């Protein structure tokens, strides 16, 4: 079964850091670009970051550029999001999602909640 499972969410104080992980199974992880998408409570979807299959190309939304770092380990079938200098507005459910060869996001994890609050 094709599956993505996120972990690492939690409660963190403003200015703090958190590292999210996404474990992939059921497909050849190293062949796909991957993404992080977030959703603030009661709000819509916001694309956060993308990484190509070999990590050659990396993209960030302006809202997180300079604070978040996306990475992957193809040997471990895992995607990561290092989040630093967290702000209250980063509070959201964070989803990892697979890019369907060059276009839409076809597989999504169940999400992990990140709460930034003092």
| Residues in contact with 40: Cβ distance below 8 Å, sequence separation at least 6, in sequence order | 46, 89, 91, 92
7 contacts: CB under 8 Å, gap ≥ 6: 20, 21, 22, 23, 112
Instruction: Tell me the closest approach of the beta carbon of residue 7 to another protein, in angstroms.
Output: 15
Tokens 């819509």 belong to which residue?
A: 44
Q: Name the one range near another protein by CB under 8 A: 15-23, 24-32, 83-91, 104-112.
A: 104-112
Window contacting another protein (CB under 8 A); options: 8-16, 73-81, 82-90, 93-101: 93-101
- Asked whether position 33 contacts another protein by CB under 8 A, the answer is no
Residues 6+ apart with CB under 8 A from 108: 4, 37, 95, 96, 97, 98
Q: What's the min distance (Å) between Cβ of 90 and another protein?
A: 17
29, 32, 68, 105: which one binds another protein (CB under 8 A)? 105
Give me the residues that bind another protein (CB under 8 A), please. 35, 37, 44-47, 50, 59, 62, 95, 97, 100, 103-106, 108-111
């Amino acid at each position: 079964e094709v599956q993505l499972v996120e972990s690492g969410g939690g409660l963190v104080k403003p200015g703090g850091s958190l590292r999210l992980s996404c474990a992939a199974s059921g497909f050849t992880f190293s062949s796909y670009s991957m993404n992080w998408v977030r959703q603030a409570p009661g709000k819509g979807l916001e694309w956060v970051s993308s990484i190509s299959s070999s990590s050659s190309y990396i993209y960030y939304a302006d809202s997180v550029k300079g604070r978040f770092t996306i990475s992957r380990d193809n040997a471990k079938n895992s995607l990561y999001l290092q989040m630093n200098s967290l702000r209250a507005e980063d509070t959201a459910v964070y989803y990892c999602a697979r890019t369907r060869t060059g276009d839409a996001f076809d597989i999504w994890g169940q999400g992990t909640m990140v709460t930034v609050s003092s």
